[in-house]
Amino acid sequence: LADVILLANHASGSGGAVYVSDAAALRATNTTFSGNAAAQSAGALVVLGGDALLRQSTMTANRADADRDGAGRDGARRRSPPA
C-alpha cells in the first residue's frame, strides 16, 4: 500500500482495516489508518504469523472491544507472536 487512507472500516472479528496472517506480508508507506473498528481486537491492523512493515504511516482513532465492555483493547494494532 502506498499513499492510501484506510478510513472507517469494520471487522466483526479482528483487524478492522487489514488482517495479515500466515506467510502473508504487508508493506505500507505513507498510509493512514483512521476510524477503523473491530469487534474483537486490533481496530486497524492485526498481524498473526505474517509480516508487516509500515513507513511514514499514521494510526489514529481506531477502536477494538474484545471483551465488549466498551473500554476497547489493542485499538490500533495487534501482533502475534510479538516481534
Task: Determine contact, residues 31/60, Cβ cutoff 8 Å.
Answer: no
Q: What is the mean pLDDT of residues 54-69?
A: 86
SS3 label, residue 67: coil
- A 10 A CB-CB count for 52 gives 17
DSSP code of residue 4: -
Task: Determine contact, residues 46/27, Cβ cutoff 8 Å.
Answer: no
User: pLDDT, tens digit, for every residue of 24-61?
Assistant: 999 999 999 999 999 888 889 999 888 899 999 999 99
Identify the pLDDT of residue 32. 97
Question: What percentage of the chain exceeds 90 in pLDDT?
Answer: 52
- Full-model pTM: 0.82
* Sequence-separated (6 or more) residues with CB below 8 Å from residue 25: 50, 51, 52, 53
Identify the pLDDT of residue 53. 94
Task: Determine contact, residues 63/43, Cβ cutoff 8 Å.
Answer: yes
